[in-house]
Amino acid sequence: MLNACSKKSGFTLVEALVVVAIMGILSGLGVASLRGAVANSRIKDAGINVTAYMERSANEATRLNEKLCVVASGSTIKTYKAECSASKLGNPIDQMTLDVGSEFVTGKACPDLTEKKTNASTQMTLTPKIGVSPIPPGCFMVRYGSTDKYAASIKSSKKFAMYYKLNYDGGAAGSWFEF
């Protein structure tokens, strides 16, 4: 006869703990990857929004046939109906606020796409010209939170494009990716 106690049914405590530990490690890796993906997505979105805002302001300068001043500070970018050198800018005619956690930065080197080395700026005067973009060569740069993820809206003499860089080291060297 077979002994009734020799059949094993269920799992031991050690087996259950090993499975729970493996599940915890895998879910921890998944959360870290998800956070990185969210940060990458948000910086790309912020860069695209700044580029679209600049294009919209350029169209407005051409439509009004007036000089407009675009000023970026903190997490807000505003457009004024004046030249940036004016002592008073008055009330903004348009503005955009970046998503929470993103802010404009200055003093960082933009990607080396222009004829000369350019640092990120906080203001730009848009001067309407017939058949030519009113956006002068320059760069607005956005940083996501306290991460090293940046996006740059760059206007060179040849084109206007949006670039982003992950793991920015403070210089223009390295791989910037065009949207």
Q: What does the domain layout of the chain look like in residue ranges?
A: 13-178
22-26-31 Cα angle (round to 5)? 145
Identify which has the larger pLDDT, 31 or 165.
Answer: 31
Mapping DSSP to helix (H, G, I), strand (E, B) and coil, where does residue 96 land? Answer: strand
Kindly indicate whether the domain formed by 13-178 is annotated with CATH number 3.40.50.11740. Answer: no
Per-residue burial over 34-71, b = 16 or more CB atoms within 10 Å of its CB, e = otherwise: eeeeebeebbbbbbebbbebbeebbebbbeeebbbbbb
pLDDT of residue 106: 83
Please state the length of the chain.
179
pLDDT of residue 77: 93
pLDDT of residue 39: 83
CA 26/CA 21 separation, integer angstroms: 9
Q: What is the mean pLDDT of residues 54-81?
A: 91
pTM: 0.75
Q: Which of the listed ranges 69-78, 123-132, 142-151 does the model predict with the highest average pLDDT?
A: 69-78
pLDDT of residue 17: 92
Cβ neighbours around 128 below 10 Å, total: 18
pLDDT of residue 148: 79
